[in-house]
Amino acid sequence: MNPPAEAQVQQKIAHTAGGERVLRRRTIWRVASVLSLLAGLGLFLAWLPLPARGALIISLSANQLLIALLLGFSLIALSLLWSVGQRLDVWVFDALNLRGYHSPWMDRAMWLTTQLGSMGVAALLAGGTYALGNRRFAIDLTLGTLTLWLLVELIKALTDRARPFNLLRETRVIGWRAPGLSFPSGHTAQTFFVMALSISSFQLPLGIAAVLYGIAALVAFTLVYVGAHYPRDVIAGAILGLVWGILSVMIAPYF
């Protein structure tokens, strides 16, 4: 049986006792989140000296890859409103989460791989590079990780998308049921951000960069495999992580 669309779920919530109050609070939280994000961006731009501000805006607007990634993320976010997108998401999710080869050792391996996208791994990497004397990278990684986490939480509050195991009864959940919302995937965003920042900061060759992005893609795949996210969640997370990595490299000289 096909799962209800997310719009239908919201409609059911609205008809339950206190549902309208909950939806009103969510709306207020979404508006407050957007205003906070815009205020933070405005304060940062106001803090920069005028020449630096102009140079940063020009460099951002001239970066075609950044613009393309932002456009792609916006299209994926808008596609959450389309029922056909939800049906396709569920079909791909079922194919990766329920069908195919599954075994206890593979489940454990996938769950362990998923943890590469945790903030704990990023903290260990930042601490290790700081101890080895690369303080610039450690600081950039720490600030980028914290700000990316805030951004992901803001976007999750705006999209308000439930995780697949909350809507699909046959979902295989490996490990614990992660709390919070689903879009975008924070673990995927974190992994791609770390890889993008590392490649740019250390000027890594193409071969090593391909391996690192391959690991990040594997982490994204495992998040669907373990039942934590839909495919569009991880695709959007990957794009967001790349965007944050590019922005971190571009903004770092101004700190």
Q: What is the pLDDT of residues 155-203, one digit of tens each?
A: 898 888 999 988 888 888 888 888 888 899 999 999 999 999 999 989 9
Task: Report the pLDDT value the prediction gives residue 38, as an integer from 0 to 100.
Answer: 60
Q: Indicate whether 2 pLDDT > 50.
A: no
Task: Report the pLDDT value the prediction gives residue 99, as an integer from 0 to 100.
Answer: 84
Range with lowest mean pLDDT among 27-41, 68-82, 175-189: 27-41
Q: Return the HEC string of the chain.
A: CCCCCHHHHHHHHHHCCCHHHHHHHHHHHHHHHHHHHHHHHHHHHHHCCHHHHHHHHHHHHHCHHHHHHHHHHHHHHHHCCCHHHHHHHHHHHHHHHCCCCCCHHHHHHHHHHHHHHCHHHHHHHHHHHHHCCCHHHHHHHHHHHHHHHHHHHHHHHHHCCCCHHHCCCCCCCCCCCCCCCCCCCHHHHHHHHHHHHHHHHHCCCHHHHHHHHHHHHHHHHHHHHCCCCCHHHHHHHHHHHHHHHHHHHHHHHHC
Q: What is the pLDDT of residues 210-231, one digit of tens each?
A: 999 999 999 999 999 999 999 9
Q: What is the pTM of this model?
A: 0.80
